[in-house]
Amino acid sequence: MAAASPSWGQSYATSGTEPYRVECTADAEGTMSCRTDLATFLGKRTFDEYCASCHARDALGSTFAPSLVERVRGLKRTQFMSLLERGYGGEAAPMTRWADVPAVRTYADALWTYLSARATGQLPPGPVNLLPDASGP
């Protein structure tokens, strides 16, 4: 993983009007196989590593942490960033101040991109691979 960046989040260039690119195909059994741009791919990797333990695989939520697929629909990017920065001091399952975790800080924009793709429904649950022409930093 890249060295920690001093800035909060990091920008990725993507083409098209959406902040992400997702291409999915279904095989004969109906199993979806999806490929994405680099930001979405890195966002999923960061999510799986740091967030899935509470918010569950594919961000669908658990008994003690909300589904981010639903919550992100009601959030603006800046609100998401400040939630991550602040964390939660809740009694049941406090959430870390992610601003203190360099790996999450560096990929905050990628997390937003991944969760946006999940929230719009364009990226279904499941593993993702990189698009062959995925460009990035």
Stretch that binds ligand HEC, among 2-10, 11-19, 77-85, 117-125 (CB under 6 A): 77-85
Candidates 21, 35, 44, 55: give the one binding ligand HEC (CB under 6 A): 55
CA 1 to chain centroid, in Å, comes to 16
Indicate whether 114 belongs to the interface with ligand HEC (CB under 6 A): no
Indicate whether 19 belongs to the interface with ligand HEC (CB under 6 A): no
Indicate whether 118 belongs to the interface with ligand HEC (CB under 6 A): no
In the complex with ligand HEC, the residue whose CB is nearer, 26 or 125, is: 125
Indicate whether 104 belongs to the interface with ligand HEC (CB under 6 A): yes
Indicate whether 129 belongs to the interface with ligand HEC (CB under 6 A): no
Strands 32-36 and 128-130 come out as parallel
- Residues of 12-48 as b/e, b for ≥16 C-beta within 10 angstroms? bebeeeebbbbeeeeeeeeeeebbbbbbbbbbbbbbe
